[in-house]
Chain A
Amino acid sequence: MIEYMSIAAGEILTPTVIGYIILGVLIGYIVGALPGMNRTTAIALAIPFTFTMPPAAALSFLIGINKGGAAGAAVSAILLNVPGEPSAVVTTYDGYPMTKQGKAQKALVIALVASVVGDLLATVVLILLAQPVARFAIGLGPIELASILIFSITFIAAVSGDSFYKALIAGILGLLLSAPGIDIETGLPRMTFGLLELYDGIPLLAVAIGTLALSEILVQIDEGWRGDHRYPQVAADKAKDSEPVFGMKDAVQVAPSILRGSLVGTLVGILPGLGATLASFLAYTWVRQSSKTPEAFGKGAPEGVAASESADNATVPAALIPVFAIGVPGSLSTALLMGAFMMHGLTPGPFLFKESGSVVFGIYLGMLLASAALLLVGLFGQRIFSMVIQIRKSVLLPVIVFLCIVGAYMEAGGMFGVYLMLVFGFVGYFMKKFDYSFVTFVVGYVLGPMAELTIRQSLIISDSNPAALIDHPIAILFLLLAVFSIWRFAIAGARSMQIDRAATPTDEPSDTPPEGGDR
């Protein structure tokens, strides 16, 4: 063990390797921050460049890209209301209002700290508990996953924002959007209109880039035309003179949210196929629900940013746990990393330690260094990126549109993806205009395919007999939680609508900056 560690340290703690790790995080951070660009593609493109590196350095570099990407996505979410990746969509809820209040710098630092802490905690879980945790996770079959997903879907009602019914409608539309594609059970195409491109469903990234990024640009163009420059032209660090950007008070305020976010992110990350978007969504909802001031959320609550970002980043190392321990990848980016393991002569899975212990320690060390590098890159990167909000819109918006198109082309099947992205850009625009929650829409869409697969699997496995649940206590637990959450959110939501209607006849979202998250 000690011997492995010293070999690993000797291999990793060299200027070149540290340089690679910082470079990886930097690439990831930039790719993450650019709307439309996705870290999975960045990893795929970077793999050939790692062939000449020693294995531990190569993998630390690639994991660094992944980590940087998860953190970088918050930057554009906070500054521009355009999430760099779908998983940062919940960050826009509170991050962008903070920017509008002149607290961009603070929001960015909180997001970064949350990312780094979430990342670090999940990395520690990976290092210490990979085997037992992965064993536990793999024992969770379709029935458990299905119940977790059903529970997650009920959370859509909890983030309803201003309008409960509209958020619900958007969420269900999102779920329905996962209907086209090959039916998983019969193998027959369903609602594909004969388009081969739709056989695997509507590409997620085309939908995400359109509804999350392009739609925001359309909204801003629209508002520019009407002479209403909602875009914050304030200098990013207005609060500098009076108080520190991130002080002790802030740390105490967001610490519980970060811990909760890290926990949710780690758990969701370990489970196959659930992904970072769900993690940040669940973490945000949990933190909001347990907050003493849930009404401050969505209007610039730092806790919201902290919860979403810590969960997003925690999924990155957590998703590697099943890869290291059993050799089963849970997501596209981990499947890519697993490929990289193999190209470097490592066999992910139970024998990884026995066969290449020193390399594994090297990767662990590299991952910890990547967390540190993330803090470094983030602190410097934010200074540069936060200037973005002072750029003239006529320069900035075309660049983002360009990135959206390139992103959709690369990640969602060529021109078909671009057309879809444009269509969903307009869909998202009207959703924003009419105050339908595009977040619940995207979350519904992200959950849809996985929920369908696991629920149908469960039905086949259990012969559609609910008595089979008796053997699955974890599933029962989540189903009970789902019932509780429906009861809690649905009734509260419906009631709040009635009160709202009585109180305010207009449903125009108010633009007055509310007080931040100070309690």
Chain B
Amino acid sequence: MKRYLHTATRLLTRRMAMAALAGSAVALAAAPGSTARAAEWPTEPITIVVAYPAGGGTDISIRALTDALGEKLGQPILVQNVGGAGGGVAATKVAKDKPDGYTLLATNSTSITLAPLVQKALYDMDSFEHVAIIGEFQNAFFTGTKQPYDTLDGLIETVKSENRAIKGASQLALDRLVMQYIAKERGVEFIPVPVSGGSGSVQAVMAGDVDVAFSGGSWAPIVKAGDAKALFAASYERLKLAPDLISMKELGFPFGVTSHISLHAPAGTPKEIVDKIAAALEPAVQSEMVQNVGEKRFMDMTYRGGDAAAAVMMKERETYEALVKTVGATN
């Protein structure tokens, strides 16, 4: 009896499996596939691939705007975190994805503009349509309160008089390049102390272990609390959220670095769709939630879409090309 039952269930499940298979075949045949016209887009949920683990600045700003964006587009927005290789894994994945507007990449613009220059990457600037820039990190260099200097010149003088190299907490290829450039220009040596993330920079500074550190915003609250001193902004112009801080331009450098939070679609995505996303993004970025997050996280959430965004990305690329050439090292 038991055995009979067993066979029966097995048959049953097999038949069910066949039915399911047949069903899905029908579904496949009936599906419009990727031919859905741009005019009807979107007819299914849109996935935004965030290139970093959940909790970072890019992730938080995207999560803050999904509700507003989804409402505008009439489809839910799914957020998928694909961390790895400083954004490289996600960029590779999206670059190879179908250019149908249903998969977008949210990343730090340096992973598109700088990364292909300094590490082996399976994508480049032209693997993407640059949909929009939704915000700007407030990159700056800072140091601990116990250090005797308050400026870049003070730092250089101090290490020169002590006849040693600058030790700086470095979390990215970006800050390493900038410090190496500055060190070369001013005739000192720079030794990067690798740290992980902005919180690593903050820790290194507060423990008093480094001369200088870089972060995209983590520096602001501890500087405000009097636990650290900001030295200078890494951007060419002054930072929007810290207008008192001297910038690279004023220090006499011909460039500055700004990391943007940017949104990209695989190259070949129809322009109509890109424009549609961009149009829906603008009010979403201006929503209270996003602005709130920007303020707390010390990010300047200003929307730039279309050609403006592409121009910013191009400019960034040129800066990094020149920088890599000058520093000459590939690290």
A461 at the interface (CB under 8 A from B): yes
Q: Using CB atoms, name the residue of chain A closest to B224.
A: A351
Stretch at the interface among A75-83, A186-194, A208-216, A362-370: A186-194
Which residues of the partner chain B approach A328 to less than 8 Å between Cβ atoms?
199, 202-203, 218
Stretch at the interface among B82-90, B153-161, B234-242, B270-278: B82-90
Assuming the A-B contacts A44-B54, A200-B84, are A185 and B207 also in contact, with contact meaning beta carbons closer than 8 angstroms in the complex?
no
Which residues of the partner chain A approach B194 to less than 8 Å between Cβ atoms?
184-185, 453, 456-457
Which residues of the partner chain A approach B292 to less than 8 Å between Cβ atoms?
342-343, 345
Which residues of the partner chain A approach B222 to less than 8 Å between Cβ atoms?
326-327, 349-350
B59 touches A142 (CB 8 A): no
B12 at the interface (CB under 8 A from A): no
A141 touches B204 (CB 8 A): yes
Q: Which of A141, A186, A272, A413 contacts B199 (CB 8 A)?
A: A272
A125 at the interface (CB under 8 A from B): no
Which residues of the partner chain B approach A48 to less than 8 Å between Cβ atoms?
63, 66-67
A343 touches B60 (CB 8 A): yes
Q: Using CB atoms, name the residue of chain A closest to B290.
A: A343
Which residues of the partner chain B approach A185 to less than 8 Å between Cβ atoms?
192, 194
Assuming the A-B contacts A342-B293, A460-B167, are A141 and B209 also in contact, with contact meaning beta carbons closer than 8 angstroms in the complex?
yes
A140 at the interface (CB under 8 A from B): yes
Which residues of the partner chain A approach B64 to less than 8 Å between Cβ atoms?
343
Which residues of the partner chain A approach B199 to less than 8 Å between Cβ atoms?
272, 328-330, 335
Complex CA distance for A456 and B204, rounded to whole angstroms: 13
A459 to chain B, nearest CB (A): 10
B55 touches A335 (CB 8 A): yes
B120 at the interface (CB under 8 A from A): yes
A138 at the interface (CB under 8 A from B): yes
Chain B count of residues within 8 A CB distance of the other chain: 53
Which residues of the partner chain B approach A338 to less than 8 Å between Cβ atoms?
55
Assuming the A-B contacts A141-B209, A196-B88, A326-B222, are A343 and B289 also in contact, with contact meaning beta carbons closer than 8 angstroms in the complex?
yes
Most chain A beta-carbon neighbours within 10 Å: one of B89, B227, B331: B89
A461 touches B210 (CB 8 A): yes
B120 to chain A, nearest CB (A): 7
A350 touches B293 (CB 8 A): no
Complex CA distance for A273 and B289, rounded to whole angstroms: 30
B221 touches A350 (CB 8 A): yes
Which residues of the partner chain B approach A297 to less than 8 Å between Cβ atoms?
none
Q: Which of B60, B122, B195, B202 contacts A196 (CB 8 A)?
A: B122
Q: Which of A317-334 contact B (CB under 8 A)?
A: 326-330, 332
Contact with B along A437-475 (1 / 0, CB 8 A): 000000000000000010011001100000000000000
Which residues of the partner chain B approach A346 to less than 8 Å between Cβ atoms?
296
A414 at the interface (CB under 8 A from B): yes
Which residues of the partner chain B approach A330 to less than 8 Å between Cβ atoms?
199
B245 at the interface (CB under 8 A from A): no
B233 to chain A, nearest CB (A): 20
Complex CA distance for A109 and B258, rounded to whole angstroms: 54
Assuming the A-B contacts A141-B209, A184-B194, A461-B209, are A335 and B63 also in contact, with contact meaning beta carbons closer than 8 angstroms in the complex?
no
| Supplied contacts A51-B67, A138-B203, A351-B225, 5 more A-B pairs, CB within 8 Å | A139-B207, A197-B89, A332-B53, A343-B60, A460-B193
Q: Report A's interface with B, CB cutoff 8 A.
A: 40-41, 44, 47-48, 51, 138-143, 182, 184-189, 194, 196-197, 199-200, 272-273, 326-330, 332, 335-336, 338-339, 341-343, 345-351, 413-414, 453, 456-457, 460-461
| Selected A-B contacts with CB under 8 Å, 25 pairs | A139-B207, A139-B208, A142-B207, A143-B209, A184-B194, A184-B196, A185-B192, A187-B173, A199-B85, A199-B86, A273-B196, A326-B222, A326-B227, A328-B199, A335-B55, A335-B199, A338-B55, A339-B59, A343-B63, A343-B292, A349-B222, A350-B222, A351-B225, A413-B82, A457-B194
